[in-house]
Amino acid sequence: MREKRIEDKARARLFCARLMAVILAAGIAAAAVTGCGVKQEEPDDGKLKIVTTIFPQYDFVRAIAGGTGAVNVRMLLSPGEEVHSYEPTPLDIKEIQNCDLFIYVGAENDVWVDRILENMGDKRPETLRLVDLTETVAEESVEGMMEEKGHDHEESREEEADEHVWTSPVKAAEITEAIAQKMAELDPANADDYLANARDYEAKILDLDAQFREITENAERKILVFGDRFPIRYFAEGYGLDYFAAFPGCSSESEPSASTLAFLIDKVREEEIPVVFSIEFSNGNIARAICESTGAVQRTYNSCHNVTKEQMENGATYVSLMSENLETIREALGEGVKQ
């Protein structure tokens, strides 16, 4: 029975991969057409052209570039867009093909990237995968989590790396350094500035790490509860925290089972948890239901996948988003909360 489930999953993934390959091949062909000579290629301005999939690496590149004026960086995910609903357009594919460096996360949600790059052949750009820049662990399920429909929960999680490496400040600093090294390699004329800027940003990120460590080491409790997906396993493990959540970090589910909801409500009551989290761009319904049943308060945790248009316009950064998380983590773990 186990072998049959694995075989069915493999067939389904192969079908999806083949279908995606056909779609992306058509997209690349369309991207190569410039309107029968009407639309001209943009002139080369000599800047290092970098494309990223989501916000963390976009922000890291922006910080590394600093005031050099030597880098053009574009994020494929539009501000305000939920990452799990993103689909590449022909323009996105063209942007990838024409850049000097393409930075993506890798793992389960970026299967489409591998198909794009495969179809580009020798025209593919230099690439970096965040999951290759730091040590990873397999995505896991914990007690109470809802199993995905149509999947053997335990088997599927054992096969997939948890891709949310940037949620740990320590790992975010490692990733920033690795990106800076690659940028320095591609643009030696500005290498010293890139590396210096990276060191400055890493220092800010590691200052956050020190603040999180102080909070967690002196906290009244060591448990986080998410009425949502849980994309911050690296964060939790980095600070010795336990957690309970409705779904794993990359789950496609949005409605919990009655047993999952009941388990989380009981856990919040049993442990006297004061805060239940939802993540950005979530409707927050699960966390809200738990709070209504327990008297806990609902807070948003910034997993930093993306930012709103307003946040982008106001200059939000990985550091500023994680600084907001400092206060909610302090509240959730007991400091400054009236019991």
At 27, is the pLDDT very low, low, confident or very high (cuts 50, 70, 90)? very low
C-beta of residue 329 within 8 angstroms of C-beta of residue 215: yes
Q: Could you report the per-residue pLDDT of 250-289, keeping only the tens digit for each? A: 776 668 899 999 999 999 999 999 999 999 999 999 999 9
Tokens of 183: 């940028």
Helices and strands in the chain: count of H runs, count of E runs: 12, 8
User: Rounded mean pLDDT of the chain?
Assistant: 85
CATH number of the domain at 221-333, out of 3.40.190.10, 3.40.50.1980, 3.40.50.10490, 3.30.413.10?
A: 3.40.50.1980
Mean pLDDT of 167-184: 98
Of 141-145, 212-216, 244-248, the poorest mean pLDDT is in 141-145
**CA dist., res. 23 & res. 25, Å (int):** 6
Provide, rounded to the nearest whole percent, the portion of the chain with pLDDT above 70: 81
**pTM summary value:** 0.84
Structure tokens at 148: 């995905």
Q: Which two tokens stand for residue 49?
A: 């052209």
What's residue 159's pLDDT? 64
Report residue 257: phi and psi, to 5°: -75, 160
Predicted pLDDT of residue 148: 55
Radius of gyration of the chain from its Cα atoms, rounded to whole angstroms: 21
Give 240 or 161, the one with higher predicted confidence: 240
Question: Does residue 326 register a pLDDT over 90?
Answer: yes
Extents of the domains making up the chain:
221-333
> Can you tell me the distance from the alpha carbon of 181 to that of 210, in angstroms, rounded to the nearest whole number?
24
Burial bucket for residue 312 (CB in 10 Å: 0-12, 13-18, 19+): middle
Question: Which sign does the torsion angle of CA 30, 35, 41, 42 carry?
Answer: negative
pLDDT band at 42 (very low <50, low <70, confident <90, very high): low
**CB count in 10 Å sphere of residue 283:** 10
Q: Which range (103-107, 190-194, 324-328) has the least confidence?
A: 103-107
Cα–Cα dist 104/127, whole Å: 8
Residue 322 and residue 318: Cα distance in Å, rounded?
6
Which pLDDT band holds residue 111 (cuts at 50, 70, 90)?
A: confident
Yes or no: say if 94 and 123 are a contact pair by the CB < 8 Å rule. no
pLDDT of residue 20: 46
Alpha carbon dihedral 40, 43, 44, 46, in 10-degree steps, equals -160
48-85 pLDDT, tens per residue? Answer: 999 999 999 999 999 999 999 999 999 999 999 988 78
How far, in whole angstroms, is CA 26 from its chain's centroid? 28
Measure the CA–CA gap between 255 and 162, rounded to whole angstroms.
Answer: 21
C-alpha 298/C-alpha 135 separation (Å) is: 32
Hey, is 199 helix, strand or coil? helix
The CA distance from 179 to 50, in Å, is 11
Instruction: Give the span between the Cα atoms of 166 and 260, in whole angstroms.
Output: 27
Instruction: Determine the pLDDT at residue 270.
Output: 97
- Please give the pLDDT value at position 175: 98
What integer pLDDT is reported at residue 289 of this predicted model?
97
Token representation of residue 263: 């388990």
pLDDT band per the 50, 70, 90 thresholds, residue 37: very low
Outline where 187-308 has alpha helix (H).
Answer: 191-217, 233-238, 258-271, 285-294
Residue 171's closest CA among 196, 201, 198, 205? 205
Cβ count near 155 (within 10 Å): 12
What distance in Å separates the CA atoms of residue 43 and residue 332, rounded to the nearest whole number? 52
Q: What is the mean pLDDT of residues 160-183?
A: 96
CA dist., res. 286 & res. 60, Å (int): 32
Give the per-residue pLDDT at 316. 98
**109 or 133: which leads in pLDDT:** 133
At 109, is the pLDDT very low, low, confident or very high (cuts 50, 70, 90)? confident
Choice between 1 and 62, residue whose per-residue pLDDT is larger: 62
